[in-house]
Structure 1
Amino acid sequence: MNITVKSLLGLPACLCLTLALVANPVVAADKSITPDGKPAPSQPLAKPGSKAAIEAESAAKTPYEKVQEVFSGDLTVAGEKVTFPQDNPSVKALIVTMEPGEVTGWHQHHAPLFAYILEGEVTVTYEEIGKKVYREGEGILEAMNVTHRGENTGSVPAKILAVFLLGDDGKATVDEAAPGSNGVKVE
């Protein structure tokens, strides 16, 4: 998908930036070097100083002095292809704080959710997938249509920046019954 300025007219500025960054990702240069200092076979033209290396470095530049990529991709942690809302698009950003041992209810997200772990550690249990641990400094594209719940498994409060790309039904989180509970909600 290629986002153009014309297609963004009429959308809120924060959504325009989000869509432009997601649809037109910046590709970082592969700096894989073999032990003898030569480019790795997957990048035979990326020899330092080569045209390919210069082009890759140029493509990775941003208008910012310091950039640290925390996530880039189009698949959720459950392997779902991310799809953006078609109607009533909006963005909602929250900082969620979970105390040590705190557990969320079982739920799903019916909209794309990017999460960045600001502090602490969170373990998320996904139906039919298992557990995944996320720690400070990690960014994830959360599962959308897979029932899951999170738990602060660390010893300090966990803080998570959650950015929802809402629209359609407008719900960021939808309560679900626990897996295997035959539809009965179990906390």
Structure 2
Amino acid sequence: MKLSSFAFIAVLSGALCATPVLSADKSITPDGKPAPSKPHAKPGSKAAQDEEAAAKTPYATVRDVFSGDTTVAGEKVAFPQSNPSIKAIEITMEPGEETQWHQHHAPLFAYILEGEITVTYEELGKKVYRAGDGLLEAMDVTHKGHNTGEGPAKILAVFLLGDDGVATVAEDKPGANKNKVE
């Protein structure tokens, strides 16, 4: 299936605008010692053992990339109720390349595989995402992405489609229509 140039750019721009939620590393205490998984779970206690057992995976090495239920714009994620599907794409942006202004009408998880992307959000400002960052992108906030790194930027974008939602919808530049009189 061939995409039109506009459809390809819209999908590309939507995937590129992914923005990771950054949080403080709470795995190390100020004195450099590992922190307990829960502050109330004392090492060796049943609560600590239960927490450890729940966190185990069948994999030798695991790094949390993202966990949460709100987008970078603070929106609560709502999963599609009908026609659920997943679409995953890998986007490559060359240095200096920018997306169009757009929104996402479906939840989007993005993982920055390499490079650096700066996303400008209407009324929220700019956020920078670098290789290894994972995020839930804003859905109903107009935004655009820009490769501000020195090399190509690659993003894995995973859309949770359904409810007849569209992954990426082109939008006017913020403020472009604010001076129009109807």
TM-score class normalised by the smaller sequence = 0.7 to 0.9
Counterpart contact for 2:27–2:34, Cα < 8 Å: no
Question: Could you say which residue in structure 2 is the equivalent of 1:61?
Answer: 56
Unmatched tracts of structure 1, length 5 or more: 1-29
Q: 1:125 to 1:39 in 2, by over 3 A?
A: closer
Q: Scaled by the length of structure 1, what TM-score is found?
A: 0.75
Counterpart contact for 1:110–1:145, Cα < 8 Å: yes
Question: Could you say which residue in structure 1 is the equivalent of 2:137?
Answer: 142
Match for residue 43 of structure 1 among 39, 44, 48: 39
Q: State the Cα distance separating 1:39 from its structure 2 match.
A: 6.8
Question: Could you say which residue in structure 1 is the equivalent of 2:10?
Answer: none
Q: Scaled by the length of structure 2, what TM-score is found?
A: 0.77
Code of the aligned partner of 1:167: G
Match for residue 113 of structure 1 among 103, 108, 113: 108
Question: C-alpha offsets along residues 37-90 of structure 1, whole Å, 9 cap, x if unaligned?
Answer: 7977x713x222121111111111112221111000000000000011112110
Aligned pairs, number: 153
Unmatched tracts of structure 2, length 5 or more: 1-25
Counterpart contact for 2:95–2:147, Cα < 8 Å: yes
Counterpart CA distance in 1 for 2:32 and 2:94 is 49
Where in structure 2 are the equivalents of 1:166-181 lying within 5 Å?
166-181=161-176
Give the structure, 1 or 2, with the largest relative contact order (CA under 8 Å, sep 6 or more).
2
Spell out structure 1 runs of 4+ moving beyond 3 A: 30-40
User: What SS does the aligned partner of 2:54 have?
Assistant: helix
Aligned-pair Cα RMSD in Å: 2.3
Moved more, 102-111 or 46-55: 46-55
Q: State the Cα distance separating 1:93 from its structure 2 match.
A: 0.2
